[in-house]
Structure 1
């Protein structure tokens, strides 16, 4: 290669290295830039043996620069390409649409005096209102991901409010309160406040009393069937015209537990001839004989329905924007009747469709997952086969990867499909450069070695980071190979980090040939583990447990450390048992 061509290679390599580094806000990746570099400069291909060495040196120099210097240098070399990256950054900054009737966020620091003096009426306030009947499945992540992202965008406020006022049909799980907060922390969000609706019964009672005194509610002892017939025919309930004193007296009787389940309810007066029967005089309070599992709430028997409880709380917590499923459109309409009685302003509402998830055999349903755990078909909420956040966390998938995928779905009213591959791709971007490589052989065949190979194999810890060094793997007398990697008779293979071998007479004979045999395309590169010092591994996957053997260094890794088993995929080290190392498979 002459000097002129070399200078051109260096210049193009510098541009592509900077494009890669600035776009991903990280160090440049040699492997990632080789394709674009050669594609833009097809005449480089005839010098393919020399190009990687030149590129590696350029990348090393670029990675020594600060991010600001990289960006400044790219502006000199390729201003058009930098402008395209900036346009993508601006577009990607907010995958979500602007909130309706929301003031643009202040550019001032959240800690600045200007922010402290801002009009509180302009603050965006949102709530995440889970039912604590179990830890979150993957679909649940959409709400906190979107709300948390909006909170950050608008420098706003959001709370977690546990809507736990149904101790019977959607009975709370005492462990779920903390489990959900842990899931929220895993996603990267810290709520500004946390509430339990079951702590606020007296508040709901007070508002019900006020509503009764306004003539906006009445007690009803009709059976469900009787009222349904009246409602569907547009006829008023005979209890609708009770005087306020009687209604108050009977409501106090409900609070005191004088009625049993189904004997008495409190209804909100709406429009008995409303075109939507579901909105006609809906139930605000009912009697439930089943005690609440929380000791603090176990004595209550008169419980608010979700539409009343949530509507009151949204006003008292000054919620400005509500995001809820499209199937809950009637909830907003019911609650508006209460808001009209109290002359409250209803929050902005965004309705969205459901998230449908691929890749799982288990239904994305808290009750279904709970039943499978109780029946022993799943090991727990973090079983890799369970579509839960706890499972993804144990597999080594970062919450940030989930949030990015969820916000990318937007807020469409139509149902949306979420491919787990998008979460995996996001996670791969986050962990690939920092995750060292290891060998894992599944269902291996043991093959003797011959021909005096090196005593130690030295594959790199990471192909893009020579500075991290190599793994020293003692070789011994034989190695384990995956069945599909076993060569044909007289065929050669390259054991990565060790050398070239030819399969002769059921023995892998060391040939001593150099890496050129691989570059010429005649020899496949395969991974291996020493038969004498292998580490038994159980890898837990979505399809079930996979057993194999890893290189000896895997036994020394810390729990929670991520590895990439070469040609297998990323996995998280879970624990080292007496007889095996247990890992959880993340993704390819």
Structure 2
């Protein structure tokens, strides 16, 4: 029964390690076993006595070796783990959508897209594909102070990378005449007025639930003021078109909100104009004229939905169906466009694809696939609950996409030089991909001098050089050949590490969100520019460039 217990322990330990890409805790393994094998509960002490050596054996294996071993001793477990266990990714149905939908993605061209934008663009794209119809990319560029000219092209490229199926592109800056006409119309029906109060004075009145004097002007007086806004009589800050709402509305932001304003201190890159619509006015006009059937956006837009309904009501239009999803917090990367602008300007960031940024182009440079981003977003869904974005979930989906296509190589971080005595002349034949002989092998010739990761020296005297043999560290920079037995390494809980001969390496630096990691890698890596590879026992990286004999890689994930 002892061997049977060890086998059961090994099966569950390997299953946990393969699933989570890490060595499990003893309690997690034993708890899982006792939960499914009640007959072993009386032998808990025996399980506890054996689990340490079992976990040591699992820790000594690479991820691929763990999968291979699990397939050998429990093929049913490994088969079930590799099945496509797609969660039901069907998002909730949309009302009145069976005949097709018209939806839109409407960013401001102030910079490239980031992960937050990806959610809106992908959710809308999902429903257009599901029901059929049109997907309009509407560029909301009517605030010249926020427009970054190069962002027009960057956003389009980001959408192409994501695989968003755009039906048409609409520039709001091309539609100023339309907004002017509808501003005149809504003033003409008494739904808006032209306010010339100073901004601070209007704010004081609004908060006090009092109307400003301009609210009592006649339609004719307001139309004259509107023409004066267009002909240059007023300058920036002197006149604003406001939508007439309840002056005592419970939400101060709803009270007589702004619809059109003058901007003559900033030039627009596409049009020569001084009067521009505010977002709520242009969005309401366009959502109607472009035939939007459904609008999906964050719940931070709920107040905007309420504002826009006033405009729909004044014109007698039927509003689209609105769906507001909860906030999604994204930790660890910079998402603020203004912070990105400032960091690029002062040299903190190298550009919009700096690995520390949350832009889609930074994700692409790291080796994140758009299919992984799409899958993660669809799984998050469009519920109203606030959530935290799961990097682990995104990385797991990306790992499934890139693993099989990523060749394996050695990377030695912070290398320490060792002279190994009495080692036999030997050439290691390390597979480019474990278990796939057709992919080929890398040859690494041992010549007595090696580089190993410095941290592996700490507290370890017996070490296994992966795909070679064992060594015993005898001094600061010396070691001796210690045989070929893997059993001895596992019993001693010795690490299995990467190693490289000094004359078969190239310098390598890996950019991560936390900083740069330096070391050396196999010379063959220099031929992998643009590809995603895996540095064994380190993680996946995308080889970005080779310059002056040094490889630069972007860290993807573990």
Which residue in 1 is equivalent to 2:381? 410
> 131-140 or 272-281, which moves further after superposition?
272-281
8 Å contact kept, 1:136–1:366: no
Equivalents in 2 of 1:215, 1:359: separation in Å? 49
1:283 to 258, 263, 270: 258
Equivalents in 2 of 1:488, 1:221: separation in Å? 76
Which residue in 2 is equivalent to 1:342? 315
Which residue in 2 is equivalent to 1:399? 370
2:541 to 548, 571, 576: 571
Equivalents in 1 of 2:70, 2:260: separation in Å? 75
2:102 to 118, 125, 129: 125
- The runs of 5 or more residues in structure 2 that have no matched partner are 1-10, 12-18, 20-28, 41-49, 58-66
Residues 149-168 of structure 1 aligned to structure 2 (within 5 Å): 149-168=126-145
Q: Secondary structure at the match of 1:240?
A: helix
2:89 to 87, 93, 98: 93
Per-residue deviation, residues 424-472 of structure 1 (Å, max 9, x unmatched): 1221122122211110001111112333534422111112423322111
Equivalents in 2 of 1:433, 1:555: separation in Å? 20
8 Å contact kept, 2:295–2:322: yes
Question: TM-score by structure 1 length?
Answer: 0.78
Equivalents in 1 of 2:252, 2:73: separation in Å? 73
Per-residue deviation, residues 358-388 of structure 1 (Å, max 9, x unmatched): 234x4x3111121122122222221112222
How much does 1:345 deviate? 0.5
> 227-236 or 462-471, which moves further after superposition?
227-236
How much does 1:473 deviate? 1.8
8 Å contact kept, 2:193–2:214: yes
Q: Are positions 1:470 and 2:464 aligned together?
A: no
Which residue in 2 is equivalent to 1:20? none
How much does 1:222 deviate? 1.7
1:583 to 546, 553, 558: 553
Q: Are positions 1:184 and 2:154 aligned together?
A: no
Equivalents in 2 of 1:544, 1:157: separation in Å? 43
Residues 351-390 of structure 1 aligned to structure 2 (within 5 Å): 351-360=324-333, 362=334, 364-390=335-361
Per-residue deviation, residues 385-443 of structure 1 (Å, max 9, x unmatched): 22222221111111222222222222233431113222212211221222111100011
Which residue in 1 is equivalent to 2:518? 547
Q: Are positions 1:103 and 2:74 aligned together?
A: no
- Closer, same or farther: CA 238–512 of 1 in aligned 2, 3 Å: closer
Q: Are positions 1:175 and 2:162 aligned together?
A: no
8 Å contact kept, 1:137–1:366: no
Per-residue deviation, residues 515-552 of structure 1 (Å, max 9, x unmatched): 55456666532111111121100111111111100012
Per-residue deviation, residues 491-530 of structure 1 (Å, max 9, x unmatched): 4422112223333465443455355545666653211111
Residues 36-55 of structure 1 aligned to structure 2 (within 5 Å): none
Residues 401-550 of structure 1 aligned to structure 2 (within 5 Å): 401-486=372-457, 491-504=461-474, 507-511=478-482, 513=484, 515=486, 517-518=488-489, 523-550=494-521
Equivalents in 2 of 1:510, 1:252: separation in Å? 91
Which residue in 2 is equivalent to 1:64? none
Q: Secondary structure at the match of 1:392?
A: helix
Which residue in 2 is equivalent to 1:561? 531
8 Å contact kept, 1:148–1:158: yes
- Closer, same or farther: CA 436–284 of 1 in aligned 2, 3 Å: same
Q: Are positions 1:323 and 2:296 aligned together?
A: yes
8 Å contact kept, 1:255–1:300: no
Question: TM-score by structure 2 length?
Answer: 0.82
Residues 199-210 of structure 1 aligned to structure 2 (within 5 Å): 199-210=174-185
Q: Secondary structure at the match of 2:508?
A: strand
- Closer, same or farther: CA 260–545 of 1 in aligned 2, 3 Å: same
Equivalents in 2 of 1:58, 1:465: separation in Å? 20
State the number of aligned residues. Answer: 512
Which residue in 1 is equivalent to 2:123? 146
Equivalents in 1 of 2:70, 2:216: separation in Å? 89
- Closer, same or farther: CA 209–522 of 1 in aligned 2, 3 Å: closer
- Closer, same or farther: CA 93–274 of 1 in aligned 2, 3 Å: closer
1:263 to 238, 243, 248: 238
8 Å contact kept, 2:134–2:167: yes
How much does 1:253 deviate? 2.2
Which residue in 1 is equivalent to 2:173? 198
8 Å contact kept, 1:530–1:551: no
Q: Secondary structure at the match of 1:311?
A: helix
- Closer, same or farther: CA 236–493 of 1 in aligned 2, 3 Å: closer
Equivalents in 2 of 1:529, 1:191: separation in Å? 49
